Amino acid sequence: MERTVQVFEKKTHDLPRKKRVAAYARVSLGTDHMLHSLAAQVSYYSDLIQKNPEWEFAGVFADKAQTGTKDSRPEFQRLMNDCRNGLGTVGK
């Protein structure tokens, strides 16, 4: 009796990769009203990003009482450095 061997290749299905999403918020004055606004921005964008199943939350970067160019905003610079370094979450 002759045997036949049939080989099946295992198929892998690549799941779509989630897009890493971060937000940047800023207020230019350190008054109570502005700090409340900053907190509201951080909360809003954190919730918005985390509720989207196609996104991976990469954090919210926020500068308070920072005026001037982007070079003088430490959180903006940290966001850009994290992006350049391929970091997916804050502080990694």
Per-residue model confidence (pLDDT) at position 88: 57
Could you name the CATH architecture of 19-84?
Answer: 3-Layer(aba) Sandwich (3.40)
- pLDDT, one tens digit per residue, over 44-76 is 999 999 999 999 999 999 998 766 666 778 999
For 53, phi and psi rounded to 5 degrees? -70, -15
Judge whether residue 87 has pLDDT over 50: yes
* Domain spans of the chain, in order of start: 19-84
d(CA 40, CA 61): 13
Q: Which residue type is seen at 69?
A: T
0.75 exceeded by the pTM? no
d(CA 8, CA 18): 30
